[in-house]
Chain A
């Protein structure tokens, strides 16, 4: 397999992981709104459903993007596809 094909395979795998985490916190958990509301796990005292919609999921997205960017940079570096200055 060529260097570029390997790079793309790793990139694609990272995409799937990122999208899976994204799916859980943007769609998955909101199938269980009522269950989250009844849950005894209450971050900072807020009902879990309320907390996830106004802070929890939002914050996870911010962290997820930075994590994704770091991983992708590592993959680019590994295969020597990092941009050089002046490119």
Chain B
């Protein structure tokens, strides 16, 4: 087998891969100059990258349990960081985040703080200890630490609710991108997306997902950073946009007041003619536009949710040791940081490209007829992501007469800023990589919990390895198919359901996980009450707000995890103290988890 050698040669293998990908981009750029159509370029990008992931998935096939569940626990620190970053950054981060910042400004950027700050909790409270435990899945930890099938099943329930909410959004995103890039109907594109996801994970489980995620991270980070640097330099805004866009941010504020942002309002009748899902700029770009509590509550939910989402936690089960698990969290956040700190810059460049009349790309203040004649406007208008209308009838495009879809900020900006089409193809491939890698991690997290914790640990503890792996794969297929079927119905937006997933995970899992390590007195009845009570309270509050109920303490439907986790914490402490303390064996087990040296609590194969 190449396995031993493969691990030693990782930097070389992925170095060659990155070089190959760059060569592919250059070849495509040459092909574009030679007259290759935009549509064909898009198809080439998506097809080429997806087939590489599929090949990696096939080469990583395995018949061993610890390779299938935890990639053989030999993923080096930095590579696990990259894989986690891809696992983490979903279609929402890649496609929707810059758009959210573009439209909502400061208030929305609470997500940036929340989705990074959570990793401090992961590193300090959980990851190293769960690695020492030696579990295959998150419910595996809950089930062994607290003891009893009820605790295990409760954890599986919370995991499934949270991850399934998340995965439908990701399959939806793969479908959206596949349908645009390959030019096929959304209903079919969803299943094309699903097929690519399963190709990566079915044969090799965690091992295959790990190595495809590293490959996907490389594609998505190139696809995100290249346009940001290119546009910034082309515009003359600065060689290194992250440190040099202060003047541009100030210029946007100047233009906002010049164009009457906030003073010129659209009538309800005018707004009714705007296609659904598109929005105009209504909030100032950099101003503090929200209350501290709104900002902080959203950030807190995202941070606690990060530390409770099982598909992230299980990535740290794949490192060779406790020490590497801890360091690996730092690398994960570093790789995530590279993209997250670029999103506000992309939003700034995109907005300025459109707004500034001194730039050749600016459209505000131009005549409506001129703008309607622009190629990219026609394309994106047709794709239902852009719309203009002369509400005041003066023949000139005003700031309040321009509408855009959130996705367009990432997908259309390269074209608006006048970059060659090859960049747009690259961005589509990056979005596909982001959505696929997260969907892979999520589908695997659910299927592994069901196959390991429900099937093997509870239903059939005598099952043979071969049978366990078959069950795991069948479940993977079923979960993926169910996710795609729901995604095909298009019932929720991408971003809303992602935020809900964090709140669900936080409601049910945050305190049972943290207290499992940090509070010896926590016992099984307390944990079960905490998980089920927290999930039920969070869900009840969500339904209460969704059906028009009054909000308590300013907690909205996006931050219901605050209610859920508070109930979870109280129940867990009260019920634990009212019932018997855990036995000495369990107490010893917790002591053992708290030091890095020595054997893992659970054996290598279990």
A-to-B contact residues, CB < 8 Å: 4, 7-8, 11, 15, 18-19, 22, 25-27, 30-34, 36-37, 42, 44-47, 49-50, 53-55, 57-59, 61-62, 64-66, 68-69, 72-73, 76, 80-84, 87
Contact A31 B327, beta carbon cutoff 8 Å = no
Contact B591 A4, beta carbon cutoff 8 Å = yes
Say yes or no: is B113 at the interface (Cβ < 8 Å to chain A): yes
Contact B246 A59, beta carbon cutoff 8 Å = no
Contact B113 A57, beta carbon cutoff 8 Å = yes
Please tell me which stretch of B15-23, B566-574, B593-601 contacts chain A, meaning at least 4 of its Cβ atoms lie within 8 angstroms of it.
B593-601
Q: Enumerate chain A residues within 8 angstroms of B321, measured Cβ to Cβ.
A: 83, 87
Q: Would you give the shortest CB distance from B241 to chain A, in whole angstroms?
A: 11
Q: Is the interface of A mostly helix, strand, loop or mixed?
A: helix
Known: A37-B287, A58-B112. A45 touches B106 (CB 8 A): no
Contact A68 B124, beta carbon cutoff 8 Å = yes
Known: A59-B341, A66-B330. A30 touches B113 (CB 8 A): yes
Contact A34 B296, beta carbon cutoff 8 Å = no
Contact A49 B326, beta carbon cutoff 8 Å = no
In the bound complex, how far is the Cα of B113 from the Cα of A59, in angstroms?
10
Please tell me which stretch of B115-123, B212-220, B476-484 contacts chain A, meaning at least 4 of its Cβ atoms lie within 8 angstroms of it.
B115-123
Q: Would you give the shortest CB distance from B123 to chain A, in whole angstroms?
A: 5
Contact B337 A59, beta carbon cutoff 8 Å = yes
Say yes or no: is B363 at the interface (Cβ < 8 Å to chain A): no
Residue among A11, A31, A47, A65 making CB contact with B286, cutoff 8 Å: A47
Contact A30 B296, beta carbon cutoff 8 Å = yes
Q: Would you give the shortest CB distance from A9 to chain B, in whole angstroms?
A: 11
Q: Enumerate chain A residues within 8 angstroms of B125, measured Cβ to Cβ.
A: 15
In the bound complex, how far is the Cα of B291 from the Cα of A31, in angstroms?
8
Known: A82-B596, A83-B323. A58 touches B249 (CB 8 A): no
Q: Would you give the shortest CB distance from B229 to chain A, in whole angstroms?
A: 16
Q: Enumerate chain A residues within 8 angstroms of B329, measured Cβ to Cβ.
A: 65, 69
In the bound complex, how far is the Cα of B110 from the Cα of A27, in angstroms?
10
Tell me the B79-127 residues at the A interface (CB within 8 Å): 106, 109-110, 112-114, 116-117, 119-121, 123-125
Contact A53 B334, beta carbon cutoff 8 Å = no
Residue among B124, B128, B299, B334 making CB contact with A19, cutoff 8 Å: B124
Q: Would you give the shortest CB distance from B252 to chain A, in whole angstroms?
A: 11
Q: Would you give the shortest CB distance from B249 to chain A, in whole angstroms?
A: 6
Known: A22-B120, A61-B117, A62-B337. A69 touches B296 (CB 8 A): no
Contact B106 A53, beta carbon cutoff 8 Å = yes
Contact A46 B249, beta carbon cutoff 8 Å = yes
Q: Enumerate chain B residues within 8 angstroms of A31, measured Cβ to Cβ.
A: 292, 296
In the bound complex, how far is the Cα of B295 from the Cα of A32, in angstroms?
11
Say yes or no: is B344 at the interface (Cβ < 8 Å to chain A): yes
Q: Would you give the shortest CB distance from B354 to chain A, in whole angstroms?
A: 20
In the bound complex, how far is the Cα of B124 from the Cα of A72, in angstroms?
9
Contact A54 B300, beta carbon cutoff 8 Å = no
Q: Enumerate chain B residues within 8 angstroms of A42, measured Cβ to Cβ.
A: 246
Contact B322 A15, beta carbon cutoff 8 Å = no
Which partner residue on chain A sits nearest B288 by CB separation?
A: A33
Contact A50 B286, beta carbon cutoff 8 Å = yes
Q: Enumerate chain A residues within 8 angstroms of B113, measured Cβ to Cβ.
A: 26, 30, 53, 57-58
Q: Enumerate chain A residues within 8 angstroms of B591, measured Cβ to Cβ.
A: 4
Contact A73 B323, beta carbon cutoff 8 Å = yes
In the bound complex, how far is the Cα of B191 from the Cα of A79, in angstroms?
54
Q: Can you pick out 19 interface pairs between chain A and chain B where the beta carbons lie within 8 Å of each other?
A: A22-B120, A30-B110, A30-B292, A30-B295, A33-B106, A44-B244, A53-B106, A53-B112, A54-B341, A57-B116, A58-B113, A61-B120, A62-B116, A65-B123, A65-B330, A69-B329, A69-B330, A73-B323, A76-B597
Residue among A46, A62, A73 making CB contact with B333, cutoff 8 Å: A62
In the bound complex, how far is the Cα of B292 from the Cα of A32, in angstroms?
7
Most A CB contacts (10 A, CB to CB) among B110, B123, B243 go to B123
Tell me the B319-341 residues at the A interface (CB within 8 Å): 321-323, 326-327, 329-330, 333-334, 337, 340-341
Say yes or no: is B242 at the interface (Cβ < 8 Å to chain A): yes
Q: Enumerate chain A residues within 8 angstroms of B300, measured Cβ to Cβ.
A: 27
Q: Enumerate chain A residues within 8 angstroms of B109, measured Cβ to Cβ.
A: 53-54
Q: Would you give the shortest CB distance from A41 to chain B, in whole angstroms?
A: 13
Q: Enumerate chain A residues within 8 angstroms of B594, measured Cβ to Cβ.
A: 4, 7-8, 11
Contact B116 A58, beta carbon cutoff 8 Å = yes
Contact B116 A55, beta carbon cutoff 8 Å = no
Most B CB contacts (10 A, CB to CB) among A19, A83, A84 go to A83
Contact B597 A82, beta carbon cutoff 8 Å = yes
Contact A46 B296, beta carbon cutoff 8 Å = no
Contact B295 A33, beta carbon cutoff 8 Å = yes
Known: A26-B303, A50-B106, A83-B322. A44 touches B123 (CB 8 A): no
Contact A44 B323, beta carbon cutoff 8 Å = no
Q: Enumerate chain B residues within 8 angstroms of A73, measured Cβ to Cβ.
A: 323, 326
Contact A30 B299, beta carbon cutoff 8 Å = yes
Q: Enumerate chain B residues within 8 angstroms of A44, measured Cβ to Cβ.
A: 243-244, 246
Q: Would you give the shortest CB distance from B256 to chain A, in whole angstroms?
A: 14
Most A CB contacts (10 A, CB to CB) among B246, B286, B288, B322 go to B288
Say yes or no: is B8 at the interface (Cβ < 8 Å to chain A): no
Which partner residue on chain A sits nearest B322 by CB separation?
A: A83
In the bound complex, how far is the Cα of B242 from the Cα of A81, in angstroms?
42
